[in-house]
Amino acid sequence: MPIYVIMERDAQARFVDALKNNRPIEPPAGGWSLHEMLNLAGAALAFAKGAGPRAWFDGSAARAHPEHLHRERYELEVDKVRGELLAAIDTASELTEVLAYGIWDNVFDSEVVCKTSFKGEQATNCYTTVRGFKVPPPDGKAAS
């Protein structure tokens, strides 16, 4: 099922201005619609991607300075980082649902850290708990 993106220029420009200038994001008049939430998520992703691959690399020798890689290898690394960002956003979304449903305190400490991963050509919500779970996650992948 396709999802239609309905975006109003001025509303999106307010999101961009707030993110660019470190200002609060004011709720739209009449409250948040599904499309406005999607557009806000898109604006946040645009800024996360705009930070460039270097901001997200883990510091290993090959990834610390990706521009020194062969062009094809660099493009693969950029694509992988974009996929990893989508996987991280999906994980953040699931964690936010836990908070919204009022069960955070039953499952997590005040801060939870998850390491996400990108598999293949699509973002997948594969994560390993680094810290913050009170109970092991259902997949049993709690990190030590």
**DSSP state letter for 28:** P
Segment 27-85, tens digit of pLDDT = 988 999 998 999 999 899 888 877 766 666 554 444 445 555 666 776 777 777 777 78
Q: Is 64 helix (H, G, I), strand (E, B) or coil?
A: helix
Segment 86-122, tens digit of pLDDT = 888 888 888 888 888 999 899 888 888 887 776 665 5
Give the domain ranges of the chain.
1-50
Question: In what helix (H) or strand (E) does residue 94 lie, and over which residues does it extend?
Answer: helix 71-100
Residue pair 112/129 in contact by the 8 Å Cβ criterion: yes
Separation CA 71–CA 48 (nearest Å): 22
Separation CA 135–CA 108 (nearest Å): 8
Q: Which residue has the higher pLDDT, 138 or 16?
A: 16
The reply to whether the predicted model has a pTM over 0.85 is no
Separation CA 140–CA 104 (nearest Å): 18
Q: Judge whether residue 142 has pLDDT over 60.
A: no
The type of residue at 46 is A
Question: Across residues 5-33, what is the average pLDDT?
Answer: 91
Residue 67 CA, chain-centre distance (Å), reads 23
Q: Is 127 helix (H, G, I), strand (E, B) or coil?
A: strand
Residue pair 36/44 in contact by the 8 Å Cβ criterion: no
Q: Judge whether residue 13 has pLDDT over 60.
A: yes
Q: Judge whether residue 25 has pLDDT over 90.
A: yes
